[in-house]
Structure 1
Amino acid sequence: MKRKWAHWILFIFLFQWGGQAVWAAAVEHQARGMEEAGMWPDWLKQAQPWSNIPQQAVVSLRWPEAVVSTMLQAARPAVASGLLQAEAGHSATASATAARPQRSEEELNRAADRQLQRWEADHTGSEIYELLRSGKQPPSDRTYTAPEQPTVYLTFDDGPSALTPKVLDILREEGVKATFFQLGAQAERFPEIVRQTVQEGHRIGNHTYNHRYEQLYSRFDHFWDQIQKSEDVFADIAGVRPDIVRAPGGSFQQLDAFSHYYLQSAGYTVYDWNIDSGDSRRSGVPAAEIIANVEKSPLRHELNVLMHDGAGHEQTVQALPDIIRYFKNKGYTFAVLDSSVKPVQFTLKASKWNQQGVTEEAFVSMFRRMADSTHMQEQARQLVQTADGQGAASAPALTAEAAYAHQDEAMEVQPLRMKVSAHGEARELELKQRKLEGAGEALVPLRQLAEGLGGSVAWDSAERVASVRLNGVLAELAPDQGGLAVVSPDRGFVFQEEARLMLADGSLYVPLEAAMQWFGYHLRWAAVDEAAAGLENTIL
């Protein structure tokens, strides 16, 4: 963004801050010239009483910490909402997603492959691996929508079977929708029932292919293969590829931290339950006992009820009308599960099936195997088309990289050594750089760069914003929106601009030359040797 656009952001802050102490300061900004030049956005004119604001305002060269923090907070919404202006009247989001000529099939496949390479790089790395190895999950940026009314999600596992049409009849009579976690092998036996389930507005979930524990849980690639096999079956029969999964027997001590992370990274949501009807605790559990199990369970705002429609569950079918009436009398509404519903998940524990653990090499290898699946290929193609302005929605597993899906340049990783002279102190930095073919632009890890120059970086996983302090400058970078906000207490300016940012290898990559300018350095390339560069510090 051109700096003239930063001025109105500064005035928003000044107006919101309000106090005369902020108005009285040391660096002049000419509001009259900006207004005469037509630089005030119309929506700002309407939103604020500009006639009450002095035409000249000054800001201290040495702002207190509270003022600096407030300015960054004022700037952040514009970054996070994609309102950064590249030119007057053109948002960064709009320019990044403008429709481009339709790609050939070969071009689309190449772009999808590059997108999957970025997805793999973004979801692997030593820090992530070590966190998973300790049994913990990396923070997730997924959001869920809570229903306004108390809601119950009736779920049926192990079908379809000859009993499923009876379940569908009851649901139709009661005006209720439900979720069916079906087995691929059973779907092949009863394809018409699968199609009927979908046609009547119920949701299909993936319950693996054959439900055999010893095959599923010995290694995650076996579980993954069954999920993919069932997904292909559902796609062939009913044209659906479920993104909701239920592990046979539930996830407790079956899916470990790695398994959950693999599935989440691929765009799946794993659902357990918080009410067990008990209809599978033994063979032939009577209907009265099934109903009693449900009615004695604690009530919550959202309830996920486990039942079964596989062979041998005639008593579940008999109990179902009473279970539905019970929840209706309690004021519950009924809905199907989808990825917008916050999942019920059991406590994360190590797998009781696989005691060997996962090596880092196997961790990365699993992502490469996942990238070869139809599931991920389809998501990547969908995301590329969305970024080209030709798709309906972005793929859930890949949205963090949406800003890069339209790029045609391939990236290669190279080492970079720099010699830095700053404030009379010499430093040597060793960085990883990613070079964009055809562009000559080097992207380097932000943390390596900033900490190598004596600064600090903090990552807000909830808002997905990196905060940097370096050379008297504070900056916040939002990689998902491709923008940043910069404040310099020492030099008295604030600005925002678009930036090429990339998440890969568990790191945030930034353009080297631009980043040095953000923090008040001048980059001077020198032929020190084949793999070195000289850097001269010049305060802007």
Structure 2
Amino acid sequence: MKNMVRVTSIAVFFGVLAVLIMIGTGLDFQRPMEIYVEQAPLATVPLAVPQQAAQMKGKEVSKPIVITADKDKPAVNAAPVSYKKPTDKTVYLTFDDGPSDLTLEVLDILKREGIKGTFFVLGKEAETRPEIINRIYEEGHTIGNHTYDHRYDQLYGRFQDFWGQIKKTEEVIRLITGERPQLVRAPGGTAGHFDEAYFQLMKQGGYHVFDWNVDSGDSKYKGVPVKDIVKGATTKVKGNEAIVLLHDGKGHGESVKALPDIISYYKKQGYAFEVLSTKTQPVQFTAQKAARKASQPSKQWITQEVVANSALFESGRTLAVEFGGLETAFAAGEYKLVDGRLMVPLRSLVERLGGSVSWKSHNKTVQVKLGGNRWDADPVGGLLLSHQTGGKPVSSDVHLIGGTAWIPIRDALDFSGHPVTRVTYEESEYRVLTL
């Protein structure tokens, strides 16, 4: 399992910013160089997860959807994505609703057969069985996001709620594997659940949504017989790609029993076994007018949450922070460079460095305990107050973005008793050094 986060952000973007910083400060363009900066945000969100899949024919998506929400909402358009089409017959075995004890049996079978699978996991289950998530990851399978708790009533009323569950599960998986899943499967499938806004906003946020074109039928009702699951999972498809829906969550023991016969069938038919990836052309059900029409988010929310989120999956510099013998790192997209200052989410910084934060609703402040110091941050008033000095509040650019407090990293470290001594800039990272 990875001990440090290995994600990255926009290299060209930061390269241009670095040049601008150097021009503005008269610094020579050379590496490594020292600059004095601080960083900023990224958005966090809620929870969710369902389970049964609609029986519909999926369609491959090749063109980005352009939607205009209400008149007050923005038109959303995502950049086209190029996909690799396999020349040989290919099958993708996908498993929803885990991890559970049955996942271990599935992993044993896949290992014995020498093939890989794609696991769309629930955040709620992953929290309780991190060792299984780690095994899936370490054995080379792909992990996808299946929301947090699979509750339809919490997922398909407002897009913001669906997004929140995706982000919550993403963080659970990141803390276990060090990586963020870009692949998403909607509980029950997108049919009747996604309108075009859901599809497009997920794409703009950097995610790849996958339905399926072969339904094993193992979730039609409790205790579906093995022979029926095998029959459903081996249904012939048009084209040479089969994305097979199976379940490895609790109560799907018959699916595990059916798996060897399913694998045997596809091997005899000459299929290659692959995992889904961002280069796989998604199969998606057609967005239906009958789908529940979710309330659409505002332009500001989309900018703060969705647009900012896409940077998480782009390449760029990490932000490394050395603090009192500890070190942590923020992936590109997890921080921001604003007017020469490095901004970070306050809670993420403090907790990664071993501290704690608590929200005081009565006065809308954040109480911080870090490095043996206690201090308050007022993101509404833009102020910081140290408990040690008992002095007057100090002005700071601490502020809220989408409900998350962001702060100049220099301010947070200074108030925690470890002032910044220098910040170095190299091609792959910013590094903040403290006393």
Q: Percent identity?
A: 42
CA distance in 2, matches of 1:248, 1:256: 14
Partner AA of 1:328 in structure 2: K
Q: In the alignment, what sits opposite 1:281?
A: 220
- Would you say 1:329 and 2:268 are equivalent positions? yes
1:464-479, aligned counterparts within 5 Å?
Answer: none
- Would you say 1:185 and 2:118 are equivalent positions? no
SS at match of 2:284: coil
Conservation of the 8 A alpha-carbon contact between 1:287 and 1:316: yes
Q: In the alignment, what sits opposite 2:300?
A: 365
- Would you say 1:152 and 2:91 are equivalent positions? yes
Residue 325 (structure 1) shift? 0.7
Partner AA of 1:222 in structure 2: D
CA distance in 2, matches of 1:330, 1:157: 24
Q: Which protein is richer in helix relative to its size?
A: 1
Structure 1 residues 163 and 203: CA distance shift in structure 2, 3 A: same
Conservation of the 8 A alpha-carbon contact between 1:290 and 1:316: yes
Residue 300 (structure 1) shift? 2.7
Partner AA of 1:182 in structure 2: V
- Would you say 1:344 and 2:283 are equivalent positions? yes
Q: 4+ residue stretches of structure 1 with deviation over 6 A?
A: 131-134, 405-410
CA distance in 1, matches of 2:71, 2:207: 18
CA distance in 1, matches of 2:141, 2:104: 12
Conservation of the 8 A alpha-carbon contact between 1:108 and 1:384: no
Partner AA of 1:290 in structure 2: I
**Cα deviation code 1:452-480 (max 9, x no counterpart):** xxxxxxxxxxxxxxxxxxxxxxxxxxxxx
Residue 385 (structure 1) shift? 6.5
SS at match of 2:119: strand
Structure 1 residues 197 and 409: CA distance shift in structure 2, 3 A: closer
- Would you say 1:239 and 2:178 are equivalent positions? yes
1:198-217, aligned counterparts within 5 Å?
Answer: 198-217=137-156
Conservation of the 8 A alpha-carbon contact between 1:220 and 1:259: yes
CA distance in 2, matches of 1:218, 1:333: 39
Residue 131 (structure 1) shift? 9.7
Larger Rg: 1
Conservation of the 8 A alpha-carbon contact between 1:255 and 1:350: no
CA distance in 1, matches of 2:340, 2:255: 56
Partner AA of 1:294 in structure 2: A
For CA contacts below 8 A with separation 6 or more, give which structure has more relative contact order: 2
Residue 293 (structure 1) shift? 1.4
Partner AA of 1:367 in structure 2: I
CA distance in 1, matches of 2:151, 2:94: 20
SS at match of 1:241: coil
CA distance in 1, matches of 2:95, 2:178: 20
Structure 1 residues 265 and 137: CA distance shift in structure 2, 3 A: closer
Residue 354 (structure 1) shift? 3.3
Q: In the alignment, what sits opposite 1:305?
A: 244
Q: In the alignment, what sits opposite 2:104?
A: 165
Residue 298 (structure 1) shift? 2.4
Partner AA of 2:192 in structure 1: Q
Residue 372 (structure 1) shift? 9.1
CA distance in 1, matches of 2:290, 2:31: 47
2:162 to 223, 238, 245: 223
Conservation of the 8 A alpha-carbon contact between 1:132 and 1:258: no
CA distance in 1, matches of 2:194, 2:33: 41
Q: In the alignment, what sits opposite 2:395?
A: none
1:448-463, aligned counterparts within 5 Å?
Answer: none
CA distance in 2, matches of 1:157, 1:102: 48
**Cα deviation code 1:9-67 (max 9, x no counterpart):** xxxxxxxxxxxxxxxxxxxxxxxxxxxxxxxxxxxxxxxxxxxxxxxxxxxxxxxxxxx
Structure 1: gaps of 5 or more residues: 1-97, 114-126, 387-392, 396-404, 411-540
Residue 229 (structure 1) shift? 0.5
CA distance in 1, matches of 2:147, 2:272: 29
Partner AA of 1:155 in structure 2: T
1:528-539, aligned counterparts within 5 Å?
Answer: none
Conservation of the 8 A alpha-carbon contact between 1:132 and 1:257: no
CA distance in 2, matches of 1:308, 1:300: 24
Residue 409 (structure 1) shift? 9.2
CA distance in 2, matches of 1:312, 1:336: 24
SS at match of 1:229: helix
CA distance in 1, matches of 2:125, 2:32: 43
280-289 vs 248-257, greater mean Cα deviation: 248-257
CA distance in 2, matches of 1:351, 1:99: 59
Structure 1 residues 282 and 131: CA distance shift in structure 2, 3 A: same
Structure 1 residues 102 and 230: CA distance shift in structure 2, 3 A: farther
Partner AA of 1:268 in structure 2: Y
Conservation of the 8 A alpha-carbon contact between 1:270 and 1:345: yes
Structure 2: gaps of 5 or more residues: 1-28, 44-65, 320-330, 342-435
Residue 363 (structure 1) shift? 3.3
CA RMSD of aligned residues (A): 3.6
SS at match of 1:237: helix
Q: How many residues align?
A: 279
- Would you say 1:383 and 2:316 are equivalent positions? yes
Conservation of the 8 A alpha-carbon contact between 2:89 and 2:272: yes
SS at match of 1:319: helix
Residue 192 (structure 1) shift? 0.7
Conservation of the 8 A alpha-carbon contact between 2:145 and 2:183: yes
Conservation of the 8 A alpha-carbon contact between 2:204 and 2:310: no
CA distance in 2, matches of 1:244, 1:353: 23
Q: In the alignment, what sits opposite 1:72?
A: none
**Cα deviation code 1:277-317 (max 9, x no counterpart):** 00000100011011111233325311100000001111100
Residue 254 (structure 1) shift? 1.0
CA distance in 1, matches of 2:101, 2:82: 37
Residue 109 (structure 1) shift? 3.7
Residue 137 (structure 1) shift? 7.8
Partner AA of 2:301 in structure 1: M
**Cα deviation code 1:334-382 (max 9, x no counterpart):** 1111101000000012463336x53xxx331331341597x556457x4
**Cα deviation code 1:70-127 (max 9, x no counterpart):** xxxxxxxxxxxxxxxxxxxxxxxxxxxx9875676844548x99xxxxxxxxxxxxx9
Q: In the alignment, what sits opposite 1:421?
A: none
Residue 237 (structure 1) shift? 1.6
- Would you say 1:254 and 2:193 are equivalent positions? yes
Partner AA of 1:248 in structure 2: P
Partner AA of 2:300 in structure 1: S
